[in-house]
Amino acid sequence: MQPPPADPAMQAYYAARAREYERIYAKPERQEDLRILEKEIPAMFAGRSVMEVACGTGYWTQHIARTASRILATDLTEETLQVARSKNLPESQVHFEIADAFDLPAGKGPFSGAFAGFWWSHLRRTEYRGFLASLGRCLAPGAVVILLDNLYVGGSSTPIKRKDASGDTWQERKLDDGTAHEVLKNFPTEGELRAAVEGFGVNCRYSALGYYWIFAFAAT
């Protein structure tokens, strides 16, 4: 099965947004949640080798690096990886690499952990299984997989612009250069997450804070 082609519009959006991206972590109302996550997520990966998918600017990479034995942090966009590399994380522990989430470098594993922060929400519903198959090829049985993403919270989240025929939802986002971009952004329920990972993971655990959800499972 061939992976879906990369969306050039999404790549262009994240390339243009690279230097603006981490402003999202400055929202005052989200600070309490973020401090909790910055402690909990690294603890889940203590002593583990971690495949990070869609690492972006490396915001979460820098926190996971406090406890993980090694990290392969991947992204498809060079501009965001340039920001990530500027964090000067130890090269002996953290390696950044361009990689397609649907064609991850299985030969670099197997890994005992995996993390995808704010990636699941940018998948079409029809892409869930393909992504999980790609990720699973990189993991040892029993590897800890953590998905982190946004809850929709009115007044804090960007409003939904439209829902398409497949049920995927889209936002309109504006950048500093004045350009507007339509961006795929889904907000799955716990039940949808559990159904999506069936056959790929066991011991699923879902938890939610005020603005974020965490979904953890053990790779089969």
Q: What is the tally of structural domains in the chain?
A: 1
Element (H or E) spanning 132, and its range? helix 128-136
189 within some domain: yes
- Residue type, position 147, single letter: L
Q: What pLDDT is attached to residue 13?
A: 82
27 within some domain: yes
Q: In what order do the strands lie in the sheet with 111-117?
A: 94-98, 70-75, 49-53, 111-117, 139-150, 212-219, 201-208
3 within some domain: no
| Domain CATH number, residue 101 | 3.40.50.150
Q: What pLDDT is attached to residue 6?
A: 65
pLDDT for residue 154 is more than 60: yes
19 within some domain: yes
pLDDT for residue 1 is more than 60: no
1 within some domain: no
Q: What pLDDT is attached to residue 8?
A: 76
Q: What is the pLDDT of residues 156-215, one digit of tens each?
A: 999 999 999 999 999 999 999 999 999 999 999 999 999 999 999 999 999 999 999 999
Structural domain containing residue 64: 8-219
Which pLDDT band holds residue 14 (cuts at 50, 70, 90)? confident
pLDDT for residue 4 is more than 70: no
29 within some domain: yes
62 within some domain: yes
201 within some domain: yes
Angle subtended by helix axes 128-136 and 190-197, to nearest 10: 50
Q: Round the average pLDDT of the chain to a whole number and report it.
A: 94
Q: What is the pLDDT of residues 120-144, one digit of tens each?
A: 999 999 999 999 999 999 999 999 9
